[in-house]
Chain A
């Protein structure tokens, strides 16, 4: 990514999600609205264990990950979503902690913007600290990631630490390209269940 003085500096979202998911066929991944779905595809393609939410369901990805985590306690569940999406469903931090799902990780891509709709400011631009909110809710692991040298350590926590885990990734707000993406929810659901052999 080229440097752009007009954008806030931050980590490369694609790099972080690739480190979590690339080559990792076992993780169950839920993607939230906007770029989060593309992050999953950029990391491991249209994988059968990706399910991405498009439009309807803003704020719902962490709750969906929770439902998945409680019925699949032997599998790691990773939810990737934007900061605006997380803020809309912020009450689910409490819902998640009440269940204590050790296998659930929530990764928030925080560019302090509703980038899909014109980069309007989210509350995080005014100092709201999503990792701090998760810590206060009782997440045993709740960290802010804004240093490239700490990505590997954070990824290890996402994949392996007893959860629930929340990592708030301070990312660049430079636009990232869209890419072809399956938006058929029925197709994604059926492939997901087929791979898990639950049908």
Chain B
């Protein structure tokens, strides 16, 4: 198994259920190991349209287009992808489009790859610089309620929020020494 599972509870199934209940019909993503099970659950859900992206930069644009047409979307990505999105946050701001993203934070708890540290360290500051809410999740039982609260706020207030799924939750990727 590529990822070391830090916590056994099936929090991804609970998060998938929350996304269903929030009316999410578009799941845009660039895959990450920490999102693997959630991606599989969403892909198996006929109410959700999976939109794999070439770059996370497309995410805010796809979700804004979906909102224009009456749909609700979520962006799944890892922390590296946040950097790719930033210019397109200007579109979210100019149109006050809702923006819900679930970010697996590489370069967090227990990271063994120094190349991941920069964006891992800067994920929360960059979200806050954009005046989006950032909710960190370290424990399995917190994941679904946090996503539910973020979705409620994002779609009711046309605001932005990132749920940061740390490696304390997802487990750090293992490397050969």
Contacts and interface: CB of A to CB of B under 8 A. Distances in A.
A60 B87 CA distance: 10
A68 B66 contact: yes
Interface in A49-72: 51, 53-61, 63-72
Given A64-B61, A67-B69, A193-B70, A94 B94 contact: no
A58 B61 contact: no
Residue picked from A70, A89, A91, most chain B C-beta under 10 Å: A70
A196 interface: yes
A52 B28 CA distance: 22
A71 B71 contact: yes
A54 B52 CA distance: 26
Interface residues of A, number: 38
Interface in A13-40: 28, 30
Contact of A71 (B26, B87, B91): B26
A53 B96 CA distance: 13
A95 B87 contact: no
A92 B68 CA distance: 19
Nearest to B72: A71
B91 A99 contact: no
B171 interface: no
Interface string B49-83: 10111110110111111111111010000000000
A166 to B, nearest CB: 16
A185 interface: yes
Contact of B70 (A55, A63, A188, A196): A196
A89 B65 CA distance: 15
B88 interface: yes
Contacts of A192: 68
Nearest to A187: B95
Contacts of B91: 53, 56-57, 60, 64, 185
Given A60-B61, A67-B65, A92-B58, A198 B87 contact: no
Query: Which bucket holds chain B's interface residue count?
Result: 20 to 34
B69 A196 contact: yes
Interface in B23-58: 25-26, 28, 49, 51-55, 57-58
Contacts of A94: 54
A98 interface: yes
Given A64-B64, A68-B65, A68-B66, 7 more contacts: A56-B88, A56-B89, A57-B88, A63-B61, A185-B95, A186-B94, A196-B70
Pick the 10 closest A-B CB pairs, nearest first.
A56-B90, A67-B65, A198-B70, A91-B54, A71-B71, A185-B95, A60-B61, A63-B61, A185-B94, A57-B91
Interface of A: 28, 30, 51, 53-61, 63-72, 75, 89, 91-92, 94-95, 98-99, 185-186, 188-189, 192-193, 196, 198
17 contacts: A54-B94, A55-B90, A56-B94, A57-B88, A57-B90, A63-B62, A67-B26, A67-B65, A69-B65, A70-B71, A71-B65, A75-B69, A95-B51, A95-B54, A189-B95, A192-B68, A198-B69
